[in-house]
Structure 1
């Protein structure tokens, strides 16, 4: 590797880490992003989960033979552990272009059950840095989760595409009655576990294994006070009756959810499609507010990775 380029990566990582780690300490945040594809030659996302580093290598045509890529990656990982001052065994790596079975100094995605509990805003969440496409906790929604908790007390809450239920835990922690819906039994079980480790009785809440697009047809009118809707951009899962394209389908989905929302009720709607355009004129809401900027945490300021809206029936 060109030493000058590696030095450039080191300098950038040091600068960003010094800045964001200081803010994280001040805000008592222990899980945060420190680097996100800042330099094209080093296409990583780097996140800290308390005592661990999570590195995802973005897909690209790097033009290297496998052995050369391995050597390049090991140099990068060594530099990451040096700058962040973590031991090599604390780093976990997701590589999107290569077979994921390499054993070595750094623990790879093929290692199973690298699970532990992290803390966020007085709540606990299980993360897994090895076995799934994502870790179990989307750090960019830290502020949005706090917004939900601020207005969920005593309300009926619906969390669609709930993933591992972090929004559900935030809402339940202040006494909301929460219905969590997802197509994955694995993630629903994870959501129940997240409830339990926060001393919240999962039996007092509802976990629905369903295709959300079909589940919407079963909802009764005027049922929920607060809805979280954070769908994938696209989905063509074989288990889904219909394919999902959030740009094409968002008006229909939102209007169906609005029917199930009480008058004055709120939907927090988010998605990761970078070119997404909300068709406000077709959405049957009394108010729509783009809250993308105010929900973007300090460690995601450089890159607008998703849109977020607060929609009132």
Structure 2
């Protein structure tokens, strides 16, 4: 857990021999890891991709060192022939291949992906044990959030600012840490001091960790997934957060909002584009249901509070009804990180407040 122990005390839990480890709540300085860029060498196949990757790396590695960013994107489907995204998580590489269009035959796509992996290993001087590959197929709604049957269940620790997070490169469509929300999490950390924080569709609790370490008075995280809440609990422990001080609630967010009577000063709402978790007969659709969702969430927001709403649905349009009811301002240009500038529609984000006086 990254702590130094100053004492170890033998205890007995009935007949079971146990040890109580005692230490100060200060983290051991972690090893620093720096990437370097190797020469292209005699690369023939995929030279365009190799040149683009080196160009990106020169820019992004310098930016990451300057801003002390450990997890970031270095290639984002820049060239249509090489339809992949590549992220660095600490000393690990996460490569995601997207399904090729029907105009590209399977053999050609496979050859290009093989070139990608070979070039990544060469330029980053990284072994196969530190590269994780994921193929993103066109998902049917029933399989959008299912666990990969071939998953390994291994978790790796990475860092973002003063926060530590556990990521999984193999088992799910996502890793457990959305890199495009790095700025959003940092903003939450800055706004959270003394606030009652509510995280709806809380995922692995990364935003809650930022709020807690930013000085939130209390936090409440709601998600329908038991797996994600267990993951969030591990992230809490990793950051020295006492779980009993931070509520984790397994429940559908719409159902929970209809029953909850609490008041919160800072709310983060980051729902999926769609989900069939509420019931087999009904699919949650963010475009259709965001008015009811945000109206319910705003009923829980204090008069001077702030709600941050984000969605990854590229075609999303905020309903005009909400513009009449609340003070809604698009802040996507502020929450989009430098490494995602080429993909400006990866998320849309609004800050929503209660109107201080009626709109005329």
Contact 1:255/1:284, CA 8 A, preserved across alignment: no
Cα pair distance change 1:279/1:65, threshold 3 Å: closer
More strand by share: 2
Distance across 2 between alignment mates of 1:69 and 1:286: 48
Query: How far did 1:286 drift?
Result: 4.2
Cα pair distance change 1:278/1:247, threshold 3 Å: same
* Cross-structure match for 1:199: 240
Name the SS for the 2:271 alignment partner.
Answer: coil
* Cross-structure match for 1:289: 329
Q: CA RMSD in A?
A: 2.2
Q: Does 1:310 align with 2:356?
A: no
Name the SS for the 1:93 alignment partner.
Answer: strand
Distance across 2 between alignment mates of 1:264 and 1:286: 12
Distance across 2 between alignment mates of 1:149 and 1:234: 27
Task: Give the aligned length.
Answer: 300
Query: How far did 1:252 drift?
Result: 1.3
Contact 2:45/2:115, CA 8 A, preserved across alignment: no
Equivalent residues in 2 for 1:119-198, closer than 5 Å? 119-176=159-216, 177-198=218-239
Gaps of 5+ in 2: 1-42, 139-147, 355-360
Q: Does 1:86 align with 2:130?
A: no
Distance across 1 between alignment mates of 2:178 and 2:198: 18
Deviations 1:226-258 (A, max 9, x none): 110000111123647742111111111111111
Equivalent residues in 2 for 1:1-150, closer than 5 Å? 6-61=46-101, 63-65=104-106, 69-97=109-137, 110-150=150-190
Query: How far did 1:143 drift?
Result: 0.8
Deviations 1:187-224 (A, max 9, x none): 00111110110001011111000111211111216x11
Name the SS for the 2:69 alignment partner.
Answer: coil
* Cross-structure match for 1:102: none
Distance across 1 between alignment mates of 2:295 and 2:44: 54
* Cross-structure match for 1:276: 316
Distance across 2 between alignment mates of 1:279 and 1:238: 23
Equivalent residues in 2 for 1:224-303, closer than 5 Å? 224-237=264-277, 239=279, 242-283=282-323, 285-303=325-343
Judge which range, 190-199 or 82-91, deviates more: 82-91
**TM-score after normalising by structure 2:** 0.78
Gaps of 5+ in 1: 99-107
Distance across 1 between alignment mates of 2:163 and 2:106: 44
Judge which range, 179-188 or 243-252, deviates more: 243-252
**TM-score after normalising by structure 1:** 0.90
Deviations 1:134-175 (A, max 9, x none): 001001111111111111112111100000000010111133
* Cross-structure match for 1:104: none
The structure with more radius of gyration:
2
Distance across 1 between alignment mates of 2:54 and 2:255: 48
* Cross-structure match for 1:105: none
Distance across 1 between alignment mates of 2:264 and 2:106: 54
